[in-house]
Structure 1
Amino acid sequence: MRFFYYLIVLFFSLSACQQLGKTPFLCQIVGYDQHIELSWQAKAGAQYEVFESVAGQEHFLVKTDFPFYLDFVGTSKSRNYRIYELDDKSRRLVFEGEGESRDFSDEELLDMVQRYTFRYFWEGAHPQSGMVLERFKDHLKGNIAASGATGFGLMAIPVGIERGFISREEGAERVLKILNFLKKADRFHGVWPHWMHAETGQARPFDEKDDGGDLVESSHLLAGMEAVKSYFLEAREAEGDIRVLAQELIDGVEWDWYVKESPYLRWHWSPNFKFEGSQRIEGYNQTLMTYMLAIGMKNEIGSAYFKEGWTNVNNNHFLNGREYYGMYLPMGNPNYGGAIINSIHSHFLINPFGLQWEEISFEEQVVNQAKINFAYCVDNPKSHSGYSKDCWGIGPADNPWGYEMHHPGPKDNGTIAPSAALGIFPYTPEESMRALKHFYRERGKELFGYYGFHDSFNDNAQWVADTYVGNSKAATLLMIENYRSGLLWKLGGNSALIQNGLKFSGFRYEAGES
């Protein structure tokens, strides 16, 4: 029904604009739950003025050179619009049309959030390489791509296809563009840098001594390749090319290099600084996938490395064993389990439900960490403005002073990240849906843009981020999809590499889960 409505609006918009000038002005109007979106094909160098008419009274909305406008009007509201095009020589009326918002069901709200968030990975990707940028603003993009965010972008493509946002052919073409670019990009013993130039593939320093290969970021990229290998299985030339090229890139990683002189994986290596300043990769954190890929690919990097590295019980943030708000956490930082991405990033493709390692239940871990995050915000021990059962979610995000790996406890500075609540949808579906409705219906005008929710906000400081961040966008898009269909978990379950990593590391699934 929504697609039929969209076609009606599009037909009306195109026919209306053709009556206003010799050259058709391509504009679409789509009504959502609280807002009406106008988007158009802009002329190079032109600016646009948008007006709306309510009860016969016309109001100026915006002057912009960006080809869209989101008008938050409330639900079941109708508006008439005019768009004027301005250049050095003239100002002319190029479009007139009507849009109407309407009440959305929960499923339609999820469709909407996923559609907008997918744009980050599709329209927001670099046009030349298809690489996904670390972050950007509506009007300001750059040339710095992130390996990890691009891996998440590869995972996003099957979601976009299954949800009807793009065609299968378009998705395959984009995947091949990215893989061919990565084949030529800088690698350090097979490992890509955290950041690279999105046109040349040359490494860009992430910090002073991190100017080479980043194994954790690259593991997200490799996981994305595993996802598209598992998805594009049809007997079409492009899909066969995806499988061959992705495997070639995966095979090129020198895992042995990143365990040199240590019984655990190292985070990064630099040709200039070697392993100086490189962290050991250990849990409990977002790096589970790194070990699963290493062990699945080179099982001689097996359980001994996993136990010494990720599950090292001698560090103070692997085993937890405490209760918070009556909920037990087997693993994680003593401060409420640490950052919520620990329960998100590696679990884009690894289903935690029913997953066991020795006596530890990963299902108990991720569900309870999610519920503790919610309970902490409701409790609000630091009396921050805005926290409630509707407005919650503490996670890594921008804040008024920079960027922080926020989590309950000492790293709670009053910043709420929508992705922290939406990225744990499979674990807290009712609480996450309530948060989604609050962020969009109550605060959408300030929080919701062309690429979905902005990264964060802090009511103490009366501040809202003007940025979108790749990791946050991935958490929202991919985990909502896992909640709705389990698509990414199915793709991970079909990856022999990931499943071998789990098997050789001593993981097992309880009956009925995979």
Structure 2
Amino acid sequence: MKRTLLAIPLLAAQLFYGCQNSSETSTTTTETAADTTATDVKQLSDEELLTRVQEQTFQYFLDGAEPNSGLARERIHIDGEYPQNDQNVVTTGATGFGLMAIVVGIERGFITREEGVQHLQKMVNFLEKADRFHGAWPHWLHGETGKVKPFSPKDDGADLVETAFLVQGMLTVRQYLQDGNEQEKALAAQIDKLWKEVDWSWFRNGGQNALYWHWSPNHGWAMNFPIRGYDECLITYVLAASSPTHGVPAEVYHEGWARSGAIKSDATKYGHEVVLNHNGHKGSVGPMFWAHYSYLGLDPRELTDKYADYWKLNRNHTLIQRDYCVDNPKGYKGYGENAWGLTASYSVNGYSGHSPENDLGVITPTAALSSYPYAPEESMKVIRHLYEDLGDKVIGKYGPYDAYSEQDNWFPQRYLGIDQGPIVVMIENGRTGLLWDLFMSAPEVQAGLKKLGFQSPQLK
């Protein structure tokens, strides 16, 4: 998925996602452009509209799930055009988000608990049999078989970051089901076993004080990509420290992720402290998904360590992006206080990690919508604009399409799972804190955060 497409995975991501303009067309796609929502939202209250957005994006992971596995499809193109043999490729990171979306769906009444548990069981059964490497899953799997689909020529094995996003969702589901009926308890135990089989320590690449993103049974450590902050990968180090079976010591976090303290930033943008150096670059601000993926379960409210106040980090990231788009230094059509948010997504020419440093005139709805906990009023303005003003141009059966550009009159009817998932989950966190409370209740997570020196009201 798109993740730190801003480092070496970017070229591979551009190659794969750039296929969006492919002439290969699926003959089995049933969704059409007519499957869009009604435009009566002006009469909905904010709470009612939020629920509608959540239900639509939730359906990506239920109605839109790959039928054999129940996992999240990498992409759904309403226009029917897919890269060759790509329609049933599932993605592990977005599946982690989808697991959490199913919990939201149960709690919101979008699906019965029995139906939700049945779908969760299907997903976990598939993950149990799918390809794993030292306990870690690959980025992409074939939904029909569970076999790895290479993300790039040498990325044909374990992807530790995607695994972390998946495990974040799995632990949230485990906490949700562990006190349920016998079937639910058994499913929670099945998840517990899978989580404990991930060998986080292996990904130190020979005992180094850093975690490495990829390992391949065919190419070993050839990708050679240590995970260093700050980007979307914080949850990877938290889970590695939390593992009761294959954990890593605290110095792996402090020396690897935090760069021995160099992660800290004293820069400001639009009057807001940047807090941490994004991708090691002083003063830069990365794509908005960096404030979402690790925080679907990890609760940033009053979360601190010796490097950052994580609520300030994410709220300021949100406000900097919002203020940048209002300022609109490149003069793009359609930008403003009701249309902001730059993140990795489809783009007019392929795929790109949009940010203030890489602004191509493309608005990606997940950027503002998934920031709802950090800036609810500012996010709500974007939601209203999308649904009330732009309507069917940007809204389909699974909620807002992935991206659009008024500047280029570009309105593709296409979805990416990694972008839809944070919308339903983060809106719920902003409304009730549901997923934050569940994930943070895991005793291993509590122990891991304490090991790394974090403080939070959630830590008992």
| TM-score category (smaller protein) | 0.7 to 0.9
8 Å contact from structure 1 (residues 354, 513) kept in 2: no
Number of equivalences: 424
Q: Secondary structure at the match of 1:442?
A: helix
8 Å contact from structure 2 (residues 70, 119) kept in 1: yes
Select between 257-266 and 428-437 the one with higher mean Cα deviation. Answer: 257-266
Q: Does 1:355 align with 2:303?
A: yes
Q: Does 1:120 align with 2:26?
A: no
Cα gap change, 1:104/1:70 in structure 2, threshold over 3 Å: closer, same or farther?
farther
Counterpart for residue 137 of structure 2: 192
Q: Select the residue among 346, 349, 354 that pairs with 1:401.
A: 349
Which amino acid in 2 is paired with 1:288? Answer: L
After TM superposition, list the pairs within 5 Å mapping 1:10-409 onto structure 2: 66=31, 69-70=34-35, 74-75=39-40, 103-138=43-78, 140=80, 142-261=87-206, 262-298=208-244, 301-313=248-260, 318-333=263-278, 334=282, 336-358=284-306, 360-409=308-357
8 Å contact from structure 1 (residues 321, 330) kept in 2: yes
Separation (CA, whole Å) in 2 of partners of 1:235 and 1:175: 14
Separation (CA, whole Å) in 1 of partners of 2:32 and 2:294: 36
Separation (CA, whole Å) in 2 of partners of 1:332 and 1:435: 27
Separation (CA, whole Å) in 2 of partners of 1:68 and 1:393: 24
Separation (CA, whole Å) in 2 of partners of 1:329 and 1:491: 29
Cα gap change, 1:73/1:197 in structure 2, threshold over 3 Å: closer, same or farther?
closer
Separation (CA, whole Å) in 1 of partners of 2:39 and 2:100: 33
Cα gap change, 1:191/1:359 in structure 2, threshold over 3 Å: closer, same or farther?
closer
Which amino acid in 1 is paired with 2:306? Answer: E
TM-score of the superposed pair, with normalisation by structure 2: 0.88
8 Å contact from structure 2 (residues 199, 247) kept in 1: no
Question: CA-to-partner distance for each residue in 1:10-38, whole Å, 9 max, x for gaps?
Answer: xxxxxxxxxxxxxxxxxxxxxxxxxxxxx
8 Å contact from structure 1 (residues 296, 498) kept in 2: yes
8 Å contact from structure 2 (residues 33, 413) kept in 1: no
8 Å contact from structure 1 (residues 291, 501) kept in 2: no
8 Å contact from structure 2 (residues 268, 283) kept in 1: no
Cα gap change, 1:226/1:512 in structure 2, threshold over 3 Å: closer, same or farther?
closer
Unpaired runs of 5+ residues, structure 2, are: 1-26
Separation (CA, whole Å) in 1 of partners of 2:104 and 2:50: 13
**Offset at 1:482?**
0.5
Bigger fraction of residues in strand: 1
Which amino acid in 2 is paired with 1:297? Answer: S
Q: Secondary structure at the match of 1:172?
A: helix
Counterpart for residue 437 of structure 1: 384
Bigger fraction of residues in helix: 2
Question: CA-to-partner distance for each residue in 1:389-437, whole Å, 9 max, x for gaps?
Answer: 111111111001111111112x111110010000110111101000100
Separation (CA, whole Å) in 2 of partners of 1:219 and 1:359: 21
**Offset at 1:233?**
2.9
Separation (CA, whole Å) in 2 of partners of 1:72 and 1:481: 21
- The structure with the larger Rg is 1
8 Å contact from structure 2 (residues 440, 458) kept in 1: no
Cα gap change, 1:118/1:392 in structure 2, threshold over 3 Å: closer, same or farther?
same
Cα gap change, 1:70/1:312 in structure 2, threshold over 3 Å: closer, same or farther?
same
Cα gap change, 1:313/1:177 in structure 2, threshold over 3 Å: closer, same or farther?
same
**Offset at 1:138?**
2.3
TM-score of the superposed pair, with normalisation by structure 1: 0.79
**Offset at 1:156?**
0.8
Separation (CA, whole Å) in 1 of partners of 2:442 and 2:96: 15
Where relative contact order (Cα < 8 A, 6+ residues apart) is larger, the structure is 2
**Offset at 1:512?**
7.8
Which amino acid in 2 is paired with 1:341? Answer: F
